Structure 1
């Protein structure tokens, strides 16, 4: 129900954007099919001396656009002038305006740059993700899970996750990011952030510079492969520059030392780790607050009887058999493992299967 309501709101915003873009065409079309028949109603007098109804005037205007007038010819200079003007004006309105309006409305999920431009006009505070590779796709999935509007830019039609993004109805622009019209088509001026996640450091920097030029307040996140370059960009460009190697190195090093660590990151000079504990030795009988005070470990979740409780309160007592997820600095983590009589990491043969859900994965 929530997804349907959100989709209905998106469709309504899209329709409003289309009406705003084609407002002149729609007004002229309405004038043609309203004022034209009224003109014939008041001006036209047939050979037998009788007038016509509004319906007959509308019928005449419609077929006159295709060179097939439905009313008999009369000698009236003004009617003759209108009969000559309506066909080219009407065809121009229908061909260039109404047809394009209908196409963009009913073909919303086609790969069309104009459609993308109209869709992004309905967005404000969205995130632009450049690159439809593995990293870009995961970023998009995470952002959509958090309820954010996302626009993706990819230069290659055959990129790895292009078809998957289209199946999920994510607005996807196939265009070269070096094109001066590429980022404006994503409405980057009203975006809250841009993620540069292509596999080319220079392209990511160019995208970031163009985005800052169009929107000085936009948050910029850049994926870079060069560690030295990422540090310089972070300090001078005031952007969040992330190096793939620097992100992967701590996780790989800790996985080699202790496979029970499921996540790691740096907080300043401190190496923080996340790990799950089976409440067997030491932990049963302690409450959450006492573990924090004694070992500096924050409790992220507690699983008991198949039910997971996020951020359990400090007076929650840990029972035998509970699975508790702690976050702590690496030295504090080692002390907590020693307290639970698990100071030595398990061998690989004792590790759980990788397809076990994270909330039910148990430490060795």
Structure 2
């Protein structure tokens, strides 16, 4: 049976990612507001130093430079200082000027900072970027059209971590994908900064699911240059062009005849899968995989795998020897290579259990 994620573990993972995203989002906010904070600090320290110098010059000295800075800080926030009101007009002016400086330099900035910190919907793009930055070994999905949306649903069902990029903010599927807990970055994926915001350096796979062949190829080449190890799955309408890309660049290029979302999901998840053929309306593909030590069908037989996954094993390669059309009693071992014929959904289940 397909491996299921326990609700508790999924919830804990989402909570941890949310905490990480909150921390990174707050860090981004602090960077955005560093200029007001810096100028406010300069005003307080500079004002305190000037107050210290003038108080000694005008024979109303403070105890130390630190005390002078503290006095300036307290009067900036309209709090009474821990000393009597000065007698000289020059020192008195500090009590009236510094509150104005505080309001101009800091109050508006703090109000904006608090508003944006607690109302992240107003900063949707930055928040989605912060969430995406917490992902690792994930899948980046470019394009949330009808195909992209179905691919997102299928990958989500398989328990994959996903970050999506969509340029059209009015896409009907955008909010539906966000409701699944998938970060969606509203940006142009042809820009390197957009791919960086989806944390491409730590991604395992990128899928280009838009309807523009030229744009898909452009993004694919950029993605490979930014992460040479990333698996690239690209939608290409021209079948000959798709095969040429696969031979030339090693991309998994799927043409218009292969547009089933489960096929994209299987390719993205690491299955070496052939172009599907339609047999009486059912899509069938031939996939190759190597049995991992964690697979639940290790040391089981062919009949067990075929009955539980509704697939046909065409070939087993064990110890450099191949067995075509193996019997139901043939054993499956770690490291064996299988050639399996089945539908995209069944292949997805098999691959997921083999991780």
> TM-score category by the smaller chain?
0.5 to 0.7
RMSD (CA atoms): 4.7
1:297-342: CA deviation from partner (whole Å, max 9, x where unpaired): 662444xxxxxxxxxxxxxxxxxxxxx8342349969x99xxxxxx
Q: How does 1:1-364 map to 2 (within 5 A)?
A: 1-21=8-28, 22=30, 24=34, 28=38, 60-63=75-78, 75=88, 80=93, 84=97, 87-88=100-101, 91-96=104-109, 98-99=110-111, 101-109=113-121, 112-179=124-191, 181-246=193-258, 253-256=278-281, 264-267=284-287, 289=301, 292=302, 299-302=305-308, 325-329=310-314
* Higher Cα Rg, which structure: 1
The 1:154/1:217 distance shift into structure 2, 3 A limit, reads same
Q: How many residues align?
A: 275
**SS state at 2:310 partner:** strand
- TM (norm. structure 1) is 0.57
Deviates most, 157-166 or 84-93: 84-93
Distance (Å, rounded) in 1 between the aligned partners of 2:108 and 2:257? 54
Query: How far does residue 179 in structure 1 lie from its aligned partner after superposition?
Result: 4.3
Distance (Å, rounded) in 2 between the aligned partners of 1:188 and 1:31? 37
Higher RCO structure (Cα 8 Å, ≥6 apart): 2
Query: How far does residue 204 in structure 1 lie from its aligned partner after superposition?
Result: 0.8
Distance (Å, rounded) in 2 between the aligned partners of 1:211 and 1:199? 18
Query: How far does residue 29 in structure 1 lie from its aligned partner after superposition?
Result: 9.5
The 1:37/1:159 distance shift into structure 2, 3 A limit, reads same
Query: How far does residue 232 in structure 1 lie from its aligned partner after superposition?
Result: 1.1
1:71-92: CA deviation from partner (whole Å, max 9, x where unpaired): 9676375775696467456644
Distance (Å, rounded) in 1 between the aligned partners of 2:305 and 2:43? 69
The 1:8/1:246 distance shift into structure 2, 3 A limit, reads closer
**SS state at 2:88 partner:** coil
Provide structure 2 residue ranges, at least 5 long, that are not aligned to the other structure. Answer: 1-7, 261-273, 289-299, 316-323, 329-348, 350-355
Distance (Å, rounded) in 1 between the aligned partners of 2:139 and 2:24? 19
Distance (Å, rounded) in 2 between the aligned partners of 1:187 and 1:214? 10
Distance (Å, rounded) in 1 between the aligned partners of 2:307 and 2:37? 59
Distance (Å, rounded) in 2 between the aligned partners of 1:91 and 1:76? 23
The 1:28/1:226 distance shift into structure 2, 3 A limit, reads same
The 1:135/1:246 distance shift into structure 2, 3 A limit, reads closer
The 1:111/1:30 distance shift into structure 2, 3 A limit, reads closer
